Amino acid sequence: MPTKLIEPAERIVTLEDLLQDETALAYVEAADAVLEAIGYTEHGIRHAKKTGKWAREILQKLGYEPPLPELAAIAGFFHDAGNVINRHVHAQSGALMAMQILTALKMPPRYIGVVMAAIGHHDESDGLPVSPVSAAVIIADKADVHRSRVRLTDPKQFDIHDRINYSVTRSTLAVDPDHRVITLELEVDTAIGSVMEFFEIFTERMILTRKAVEFLGCQFRLVANNVELHGASRP
């Protein structure tokens, strides 16, 4: 059920505040530079903003009251910043970095804790949905599969992650609050990458996404090229 966490008059830090914060922006950009150096796809400001906005939208559409949607936006924006330290346990280090920034911005500690938990549990290697905010961040993060994330320009240099991301020409995330269904729909150019290859590298992510959707009391649909690969039962 939607959870109320604050009194209406109480102000929290917003995603828009972070987008004006030099430290937050610098850490996200520095983390992306590290990932570029070790051959990963884009994890910069574009991915951070999209994850934050999608996470906020998920909770808003499902009727969660403030500040949960905004906490999801903040956690979504900062979820990959820990990569500036190391890819290994980046979720946990990113949670600690977020604590420092949000403390400096005077966010109440009880809200910082919610953001930290969401960041610390977003990765498929060791994460699980632990709150509505956490679940929304997981879904939004894993849904951002798209050719715009590929850095290389020569397809001959693509590895399987580059090829599959580049093969996705459109990805949309739809929330149906009436039927409690969340749908990730992809358009895949099968001349570049196959749907089977998508599952080869994204199975763990999709399993975590399904768990996050179910944590929110919804059912998960995954559709590629108008074919339902994982479907919710019909109401």
pLDDT in tens, 216-229: 999 999 999 998 98
Distance in angstroms (rounded) separating the CA atoms of residues 63 and 205: 25
Determine the pLDDT at residue 81: 98
Residue 167 CA to residue 170 CA, distance in Å, equals 9
Res. 10 pLDDT band, cuts 50 70 90: low
Only one residue has tokens 């599959």, namely 164
Look at residues 210, 208, 227 and name the one whose alpha carbon lies nearest to residue 218. 210
The answer, yes or no, to whether residue 232 has pLDDT greater than 70, is: no
Q: Over 90: is that where the pLDDT of 211 sits? A: yes
pLDDT tens per residue across span 194-207: 888 888 888 999 99
Whether pLDDT at 9 is above 60: no
Q: According to the model, what pLDDT value does residue 234 have?
A: 46
Average pLDDT, rounded, for the chain: 92
Q: Which fold has domain 15-230?
A: Hypothetical protein af1432 (1.10.3210)
Least confident of 144-148, 177-181, 230-234: 230-234
CA 208 to chain centre: 11
The pLDDT tens digits of the residues spanning 136-176 come to 999 999 999 989 899 988 888 998 889 999 999 999 999 99
- CB of 197 within 8 A of CB of 186? no
pLDDT of residue 77: 98
Q: pLDDT category, 5, cuts 50, 70, 90?
A: low
16 close to 73: Cβ distance less than 8 angstroms = no
Helical H segments across 123-159, by residue range: 132-143
- Name the residue among 164, 174, 220, 221 with its Cα closest to residue 195: 164
DSSP 99: H
pLDDT classification of 4: cutoffs 50, 70, 90: low
Helix (H) or strand (E) holding 29: helix 22-37
Give percent above pLDDT 70 in the chain: 94
Please report, for the chain, the start and end positions of each structural domain, with discontinuous segments joined by +. Answer: 15-230
Tokens of 69: 């949607």
Mean pLDDT of 118-142: 97
Give the amino acid at 141.
Answer: D
